[in-house]
Amino acid sequence: MKKAVLIIHGFVGSLYDNEYLMNYLELDKKFDVFAKTLPGHHETFSYQKVDFHEWIKYVEEIVEDLIFYGYKEIYLIGHSMGGVLAGYVASKYKEIKKVVFLNAAFNYLNFKQNKVDILKNKDYKDYLEVLDRVFHTSIPFFLEFIKLVKEYHDCLTNVTVDSLVLQSDIDQVVPLENGIKIYDNLKSYNKYLTYLTNERHAIFEGNQENLERKKEIAEYIRLFLRGGNKWKKIYKEKI
């Protein structure tokens, strides 16, 4: 039986955010890869009012469906807010064996990096992308995100499965210290923290830009999910 990989996107995100990673992992014959759009989210950014508990319930239902169809090993990959959802759900089901926290938003609003970017007059394309999504939503919708993080901020203390924390070093949304906080709070015996150099918040968005770099990070994740001696040999604190 193949192992199931469930990829969970972030707040005001969509499947597009991790499209490259999904396609890459699907090439591995050991995995069946799954991804769904969270309630209230849509690729056109036509957001609607939802309760944050609906996001939790939705992910739980997906996991339960995978268990029903016979998957005895499930791996979660959570990007941004999806990392918070993955952290909570990972503590509930014995079938979940590994979790990848990809710029998981247990802490958010990186004002320090924002100030550096403004002073250095960086390209604001990625900021405009984030702001465009936020402005197309509503204050009540954003407040549900805040409630989710507040409610499940400490869920990592219940996570004991193998975990990989990936933190971009110039993430414009999540502060750099977020990675070490996640790592420290995890109770996993096998846990790893890797910083992604010169990377922003949305790493796998789209399919046509920075393909070699996307492939490098996706392969790193794939090898973690595969495990074994090869993973232990290639693990690095920075890539």
The pLDDT tens digits for 132-186 are: 555 556 677 778 888 998 989 899 999 999 999 999 998 888 888 999 999 999 9
Using CA atoms, how far apart are residues 184 and 167, in angstroms rounded to an integer?
Answer: 14
Residue 127 corresponds to which tokens in the numbers above?
Answer: 């900021």
Predicted confidence at residue 12, as pLDDT, reads 78
The reported pLDDT for the residue numbered 116 is: 46
Question: How far, in Å, CA of 228 to CA of 122, rounded?
Answer: 41
pTM listed for this prediction: 0.87
Q: What is the pLDDT of residue 8?
A: 97
**Which residues are bridge partners to 79 per DSSP?**
102
User: Which residue type sits at 200?
Assistant: R
Residues 201/126, Cβ–Cβ less than 8 Å: yes
- Mean pLDDT value of segment 190-217: 89
Cα atoms in the Cβ-side hemisphere of radius 13 Å centred on 147: 13
What confidence score (pLDDT) does residue 72 get? Answer: 96
Q: What are phi and psi of 41, to 5 degrees?
A: -110, 150
Mean of pLDDT values over 191-217:
89
Output the pLDDT for position 125. 56
pLDDT tens-digit profile of 18-33?
A: 989 999 999 999 999 9
Tokens of 120: 């250095």
Q: Which residue would you say has higher pLDDT here, 217 or 49?
A: 217
Is the model more confident about 196 or about 144? Answer: 196
SS3 state of residue 144: helix
Q: b/e for 47-81, b at 16 or more Cβ within 10 A?
A: beebebeebbebbeebbeebbeeebebbbbbbbbb
Choice between 148 and 16, residue whose per-residue pLDDT is larger: 148
More confident residue, 10 or 123: 10
- Domains in the chain, please, with CATH? 3-234 (3.40.50.1820)
Q: How far apart are CA 157 and CA 72, in angstroms?
A: 23
Closest CA to 236 of 225, 228, 224, 76: 224
Rounded to 5 degrees, what angle do the CA atoms 232, 176, 126 make? 105
Asked whether the predicted pLDDT for residue 56 surpasses 50, the reply is yes
Q: Say whether 218 sits in a helix, a strand or coil.
A: helix
